[in-house]
Amino acid sequence: QKEVEQDPGPLSVPEGAIVSLNCTYSNSAFQYFMWYRQYSRKGPELLMYTYSSGNKEDGRFTAQVDKSSKYISLFIRDSQPSDSATYLCAMSEGGSYIPTFGRGTSLIVHP
């Protein structure tokens, strides 16, 4: 079992839909949780950075962490074709500088 599991997709949704992207993990020491967006042939772009359990909202994006279930989610409201990209989850232990990345989920938002 990998430390971080993420369904590679692709996930195809119509414009305007609410998108839910998820990761599960096995290491209970993870405390920092991140979501990155990566467009084709570009570098990952940090979207959200959260510590411990709870929700964090930024515009159309909401990151949710459930440490008891070892499950994190990224919600995208009112999805746009420009949101089409690969979304990578990443997480690290407290005091660690090396995040563990998921494989990424490919999202396609069609007009």
Partner 1 sequence: NAGVMQNPRHLVRRRGQEARLRCSPMKGHSHVYWYRQLPEEGLKFMVYLQKENIIDESGMPKERFSAEFPKEGPSILRIQQVVRGDSAAYFCASSPMLGEQYFGPGTRLTVT
Query: Which residues sit at the interface with partner 1, rule CB under 8 A?
Result: 4, 6, 8, 32, 34, 36, 41-46, 49, 88, 90, 95-99, 101-104
| N-to-C CA span, the chain | 37
- Shortest distance, CB of residue 109 to partner 1, whole angstroms? 22
64 C-beta neighbours (distance < 10 Å), count: 19
Choice between 7 and 17, CB closer to partner 1: 7
For partner 1, the closer of residues 1 and 98 by Cβ is 98
The closest alpha carbon to 36, from 16, 18, 9, 63, belongs to 63
